[in-house]
Amino acid sequence: MTTRPLTPQERARLEAMKRQFEQRKRMAQAFQAIRHKVAVYSGKGGVGKTTVAVNLAVALANFFNKRVGILDADIDCPNVVRAMKVEEKPTYDGTHFFPAEKWKVKVLSMGFFQQKEDEAIIWRGPMIHNALTQFLEMTQWGELDYLVVDLPPGTSDAPLTIMQTLPSLDGFIIVTTPQELAIVDALRSINMVRRLNQTVLGIVENFSGEVFGSGGGEELAKQLGLPFLGRFALRPDYRDTSKPTVLLSEAVRQEYEALVRNLQSVLAPTPTS
Ligand SMILES: Nc1ncnc2c1ncn2[C@@H]1O[C@H](COP(=O)(O)OP(=O)(O)O)[C@@H](O)[C@H]1O
Ligand SMILES: [Mg+2]
């Protein structure tokens, strides 16, 4: 067999493949000690993704004694830091980020890198992709039972990057509200997750009650043969922002304990995790 030198194009392609392989390897290493990775997602903003992600993470850590981290992947609108009331920043040793910790949950958010809280981050697609990938590779979470990922809404670069690059994500919790339009939107989100060959773990309904109605999320889950994981009533309890609401309200705590139990059964066959 004769060998000829590679053309510059071939060499470039080979280099790109090598880089991608190395990146995957680094990413896999960064996440290897995390048992379950669960992302919270919906196509629409304002439905309660961040609320669900934060309260789920805090409930797992405080009522179920799990080792938990939360990753705020919403680059444009990183609200996890505010919702968690985190004051300390992640530390950086020149190679790795070490998440901050609050309410027994390790926290990493793009919000930590913002100068002012109200400063909008307007990044172009490739930059978002790069920032997120680097962020993911460079974080040392240590051993965790759960990593909860708060995703931005829509089908933009950040959710796509997470869906495509986070290694062995267990799947997505889709948040919807009882209104009809929100249900249509939830359906779209579910289709997007499935198109990327990822798992939909189930649906939760937020803002349930007299104002917006109740049951749409469960109905959708039934129609699609998906688990219905929980229902969270619209409550004034969320107005008190001194702590995540699961730590303030017994009723909300019960709702989130039900979510955790349902999630654990969906994430079987490791029912002890
Ligand atoms: N069940 C609820 N009852 C009352 N207010 C809620 C509830 N869930 C969320 N909220 C409030 O609604 C607003 C939007 O929620 P958020 O979690 O930021 O949505 P998203 O992350 O989907 O944009 C927040 O101010 C939050 O406190
Ligand atoms: Mg949010």
pLDDT for position 18:
92
pLDDT band at 157 (very low <50, low <70, confident <90, very high): low
What pLDDT shows up at residue 247? 98
Mean pLDDT score across all residues of the chain: 88
Domain ranges of the chain: 34-266
Q: Options 3.30.342.10, 3.30.60.50, 3.40.50.300, 3.40.50.1970; which CATH number does 34-266 get?
A: 3.40.50.300
Q: Report how far ligand 1's centroid is from the alpha carbon of 41 (Å).
A: 13
Ligand 1 atom 15 nearest Cα: 48
- Decide which of 32 and 271 is more confident: 32
Whole-number Å distance, alpha carbon 125 to ligand 1 midpoint, is 26
Smallest CA-to-CA distance from 59 within 46, 68, 72, 48 is with: 68
Return the minimum-mean-pLDDT range out of 97-111, 112-126, 136-150, 188-202: 112-126
> How far is the centre of ligand 1, averaged over its atoms, from the C-alpha of 8 (Å)?
52
Asked whether 227 lines ligand 1 (CB < 6 A), one says no
Pick from 40, 47, 49, 51 the residue to mutate for probing ligand 1's pocket: most ligand atoms within 8 Å of its CB.
51
For residue 70, give the 3-state DSSP assignment. strand
Structure tokens at 183: 């249900």
pLDDT(225) > 90: yes
What DSSP line would sit under 245-268, residue for residue? GGGT-HHHHHHHHHHHHHHHHHTT
Query: Quick one: pLDDT at residue 110?
Result: 76
Q: Does ligand 1 come within 6 angstroms of the Cβ of 162? A: no
Q: What is the DSSP string of 60-102?
A: HHHHS---EEEEE--SSS--HHHHHT--SPPEE-SS-EE-EEE
Q: Which residues pair with 70 in a beta bridge?
A: 107, 148
Nearest-angstrom CA–CA distance, 183 and 179: 6
In tens, the pLDDT along 31-61 reads 889 999 999 999 888 899 999 999 999 999 9
Q: Is the pLDDT confidence value at 128 over 50?
A: yes
CB 170 within 8 A of CB 267: yes
Binned at pLDDT 50, 70 and 90, residue 1 comes out as low
Q: Whose CA is nearest to atom 27 of ligand 1?
A: 238
Least confident of 10-14, 165-169, 187-191, 261-265: 165-169
Q: Is 91 left (phi over 0), alpha (psi -120 to 50) or beta?
A: beta
pLDDT (0 to 100) of residue 271: 45
Question: For residue 191, is pLDDT > 80?
Answer: yes
C-alpha 185: how far from its chain's center?
A: 18
The closest ligand to the CA of 175 turns out to be 1
Q: Are strands 91-92 and 97-98 parallel, antiparallel or unpaired?
A: antiparallel
pLDDT digits (tens, 9 = 90+) for 59-117: 999 999 999 999 998 877 788 988 999 988 888 888 888 999 999 999 998 777 766 66
- Spatial separation of the C-alpha atoms in residues 79 and 196, rounded to whole Å: 26
Ligand closest to Cα of 251 equals 1
Q: Say if residue 269 is preceded by a cis peptide, omega within 30 of 0.
A: yes
